[in-house]
Chains A and B, each alone.
Chain A
Amino acid sequence: MEDNRMYQPTTGLSNEDLERALKHVGTSVSYPPTPDLTIGLRERLASRPAMPSYWWTMLWQPRRAAALIIIFTLAVAFAALAFSPEARTALADRLGLRGIRIWYMPAEPAPSPQENNTPEPTPALAPTLSPMGLGRPVSPEEAQALVSYIILKPTAEELEQPDETFVSIPPDDGQVSFLYRARPSLPAADNGVALLFTQFRGDIQEGAIFGKGLPQGVTLERVMVNGAPGFWISGDLHFFYYRDPSGNIKQEQVRLAANTLLWEQEVLTLRLEGHLTRDEALRIAASVR
């Protein structure tokens, strides 16, 4: 369409005119034609698991979930203190050594989602939280649908299929944990867990990951993992710090009282926990894709 208006240099526009001009340009920008996104959507949704139940939906609101976790933790702590002299002693030890930090480790990991041929709702969608605080038990496919990044996984032969998968939100982009029980080459600890592989968006900074310093009895060794720097941490590390995608420093809990390999890969921070040697951990980490 011919435009017979006088040409006026855009450098002479006032702020208001510039904004109006931009809005007008916006009406004439040429975009590629929008495809019908509903067609592919139906196919993709059809291959996904069913929607979470109403009750899970209610529980999965972050604030509600946090409130329930706090209430549950306090109830367990009070019960333990009321009925167990050992617990009171342990708490006193904690208070004396590391400040107030109550640790909760289950005797057994969360039950795995059962393979079920009936149309009943699967336990994977049950409104329960993992006792290790790993989040909601899900299938690996559902985990991928819930997080905003491409999930990485060890491709070493014995670890291709995790025994359980969990998704936890927060963090905003989701944290995925793969839990492995004993394998021929990987004995389990007392709680039945042989290995825990966890990932979330964020990065680790050497000067900041352990706050004011390493806890007593914990040693740190710098290692290279898939071409990127990482940390091999021997001993009973309880938590570390990382930087989330918004630049905020967050604290992250280590779940197993075991050795830990911590490294960055792509946009993720990855963590392997288990009673592994350094070389075993590095071999597994090298297979992560």
Chain B
Amino acid sequence: MEESQLVEQAKAGDVHAFETLVKHYQDLAFRVAYLITAEPDEAEDAAQDALVKAYYALPRFRIGAPFRPWLLRIVANEAQNRRKAAGRRVGLALRVAETPGSQNTTMPIPEDTVLANEQRHELLAAVNRLREEDRLIIAYRYFLELTESEMAETLRCPRGTVKSRLSRALSRLREELLVAPTEVPGGSHGG
């Protein structure tokens, strides 16, 4: 069934249709929450609460608008509120999985983009060292593969602001790579 039909049915109170939508987006919703809260349990709670809020906010959702960024915006908002309420800074350290590609198999990996293991670790370590807002915008764009317009909706800012923030984040990532490029782990990093 088309997503727009599921949204219409969910708007009319069909919980099964809403569950189908949730199943489709729960990986992404959970990962957005995890990137913000840095705690799996907290991310699960944030995503659950956000989904309930999304269900009750459905009457305000405009049919025809993209559902994915609308949902992610509610999830991100809930995760940020929880993190602020907890009053702590995020110490998220993303790691490379044992088997590259095993975590996110939705995107085919062309041969010419395959990176050496050391490069993956080096790049991810540099991303981890970035400040939170830079890390988040890079993760949204390149790890979760949100489009710029989806990021604008999720981050509640104009698309032009997304572009400039992303550009600044990439510049700072380059600086990080220049400052500490040599720490390359010898072994694999499991999650």
Listed in ascending order, the chain A residues whose CB lies under 8 Å from chain B are: 1-3, 5-11, 15, 18-32, 34-38, 40-42, 44-45, 48, 50-52, 54, 56-57, 60-62, 142, 145-146, 148-150, 169, 173, 246, 266-267
A45 in contact with B52 (CB, 8 Å)? yes
Nearest-CB residue, chain B, relative to A173: B77
A26 in contact with B53 (CB, 8 Å)? no
Please tell me the size bucket of the interface on B.
35 or more
**Chain A residues with CB below 8 A from B27, complex form:** 34
Interface secondary structure of B, over-half rule = helix
A44 in contact with B52 (CB, 8 Å)? yes
Listed in ascending order, the chain B residues whose CB lies under 8 Å from chain A are: 11-13, 15, 18-19, 22-23, 26-27, 29-31, 34, 40, 43-44, 47-49, 51-53, 55-60, 62, 74, 77-78, 81, 84-85, 94-105, 107, 109, 113-120, 122-124, 126-127, 138-139, 141-145, 156, 170, 173-174, 177-178, 181, 184, 189-191
Choice from B11, B47, B173, B184 contacting A37 with Cβ under 8 Å = B47
**Chain A residues with CB below 8 A from B74, complex form:** 148
A25 in contact with B124 (CB, 8 Å)? yes
**Chain A residues with CB below 8 A from B23, complex form:** 38
A21 in contact with B123 (CB, 8 Å)? yes
B117 in contact with A57 (CB, 8 Å)? no
Choice from B44, B58, B126, B190 contacting A10 with Cβ under 8 Å = B126
A148 in contact with B81 (CB, 8 Å)? yes
**Chain B residues with CB below 8 A from A54, complex form:** 12
A30 in contact with B22 (CB, 8 Å)? no
